[in-house]
Structure 1
């Protein structure tokens, strides 16, 4: 009971120290609010509100049909311009796409020839350039084909593929991006807060005070783990309820308490990593550089950004040792597909084992650091 009391009171001390650090408090608030909203709504994968201008030199029913085919929400209403205005509009950034329909376009199509339509693309708009060019090509081919057939009905197919999208039927990017950003923020903040707590002890000279107190290194480390983990866990719960479900209107398919239990185990592993980095770094800038070197591979290679199946086999095997890999699998299964504990217990077990190993390694390093200081 005395050890538990020491861990509890040392954890309260960490919470008070965090309360007096406005920079970290602002980082927590931003990461679980505006950080998630920005990541979920910026740079859409699908085309949205692209600006397009058309130079119609044919002025035929077919050219009018092509122009009318570019509709919201993919495109803004097409702007009709003159050929002399095209270059200036592209250079000034007014239009992402400009389409030049040549003279006698309809006559050449009806005569069986293959006239070319010039499409100019502003490639500096990376998020829209290549996707939009494909959309325009498909739309143009469909409209010309329908014009020649005099109807829009598709030709009968020998076999038809029926697609059912179980989660996110409209493929709204914010549904995926918001949840994955919450996962990324959990990992990032837990490592930063625990590492910063240890650096702060060293910079303020309070680590020497702890050395002369009747507390052990495991108690000091567990106090930092539970206090910083609790802060991130509460911020995660509020973010999922108020930002993800409330602001972004993203439905959560599974059990939120089950996900928070998995997040708690993940925090045990990542806070231990933060302690380990805090024993290596000697200042906050050094800690930031160490976290960047580790955090970016963890986020990119864990399966939250790109599917792990598309990665080299060696990378997949290495990432099995990372807690983020199993946490991403667990989170996607619960929040996207509504999985229960009987489905995700292997991920729970893997995170427990990896977290125990990380905690043991961090504790050994922490003991060595305290021994050198004493």
Structure 2
């Protein structure tokens, strides 16, 4: 009971210290509110209002139908231009896409030939270029099929491909980016808070004061873990219910309490990592360098920014043991697909075991740094 009281009191001291750190409070408030909202609404990979022009040398009913099918919000209203206007329009960035329909296009379609349509794309924006090219190809294919069917032509394919998008039927990028921003912020803010708290104790000389008190290194570490973890859990709950669900209108498929439970387990690992880096670094600039070298690559390779399957096999095998990868995995399973505990229990177990191992390593490093003064 004495040990629990010490952990509780030291944790309350941490909360009071954090309350006086205005910069960190602003950082936490920004990261779990404006930062998430800005990442979801300010950056989008969706195709919106792309400028498109058409060189229609056929001027047939079919080309008019294709032109009318290029609709907002993906495309602006198509502009009819002549062939010599293509290069100046692309060079000045006036048009992102230019379609060229050759003379006799409709006749070739009805005759069963395969006429070519030239699609000029401004690929300086590579993501928009790829998405737009797929949109245009699908629109042309659909309009040709419908036009031929209305005229009784047999242009049907040997199979009908029906595509169904699960969990995000409209392919709204904000549904993905908002949750991924939240997940990344959990890792970064937890490491920063615990590491900064440890270094702050050392720089202010209060760490030595703690060590002459009847408290153990374990109690000091646990106090920092629960205090900073509590702040992050409250911020995550606020971000999910207020920013993501209410403001951004992102539907949460699964149980938020289950996700918060998994987040709590993950915070144990992230806090231990912050303390470990805090024992290695001698100042905040050194801590910042370690953060860049370790935490940022860990976030990038955890599957939230780049698919895990696209990484080299050896790197995949290593990253599957890192709790940040398991955190991304069960977060997506719960929040996107509505998974229950029976599905995510293995990720919970992995995060817990690795977190305990890292906490033991951080505790050993903490005791060594106290005894040697390094």
Instruction: Flag whether TM exceeds 0.5 (same fold).
Output: yes
SS at 1:11 equivalent:
helix
TM-score of the two chains, using structure 2 as the length reference? 0.89
Equivalence for 2:74? 74
SS at 1:100 equivalent:
strand
Query: Equivalent residues in 2 for 1:231-246 (5 A)?
Result: 231-246=231-246
Query: Equivalent residues in 2 for 1:159-198 (5 A)?
Result: 165-198=165-198
* TM-superposed deviation, 1:122: 1.5
Identify which range, 148-157 or 321-330, moves more after superposition: 148-157
Q: Distance in 1 between matches of 2:279 and 2:236?
A: 26
Query: Equivalent residues in 2 for 1:106-255 (5 A)?
Result: 106=106, 116-144=116-144, 146-147=146-147, 150-151=150-151, 165-255=165-255
The answer as to whether partners of 1:44 and 1:127 remain within 8 angstroms in 2 is: no
| Alignment gaps of 5+ in structure 1 | none
Equivalence for 2:272? 272
Query: Equivalent residues in 2 for 1:325-364 (5 A)?
Result: 325-364=325-364
Q: Distance in 1 between matches of 2:210 and 2:349?
A: 34
Equivalence for 1:13? 13
TM-score of the two chains, using structure 1 as the length reference? 0.89
| Deviations 1:253-287, CA, capped at 9 Å, x for gaps | 22211111111110011100000011111222221
The answer as to whether partners of 1:146 and 1:152 remain within 8 angstroms in 2 is: no
* Distance change >3 Å, CA 367–CA 152, structure 1 → 2: farther
* Distance change >3 Å, CA 75–CA 14, structure 1 → 2: same
Equivalence for 2:62? 62
* Distance change >3 Å, CA 358–CA 239, structure 1 → 2: same
Equivalence for 2:293? 293
| Alignment gaps of 5+ in structure 2 | none
* TM-superposed deviation, 1:250: 1.4
Query: How well do the aligned residues superpose, as a CA RMSD in angstroms?
Result: 2.8
Q: Distance in 2 between matches of 1:157 and 1:63?
A: 21
Q: How many residues align?
A: 374
Identify which range, 321-330 or 140-149, moves more after superposition: 140-149
| Deviations 1:162-188, CA, capped at 9 Å, x for gaps | 655552233322222222222111111
Q: Distance in 2 between matches of 1:265 and 1:30?
A: 24
Q: Distance in 2 between matches of 1:146 and 1:338?
A: 38
SS at 1:71 equivalent:
coil
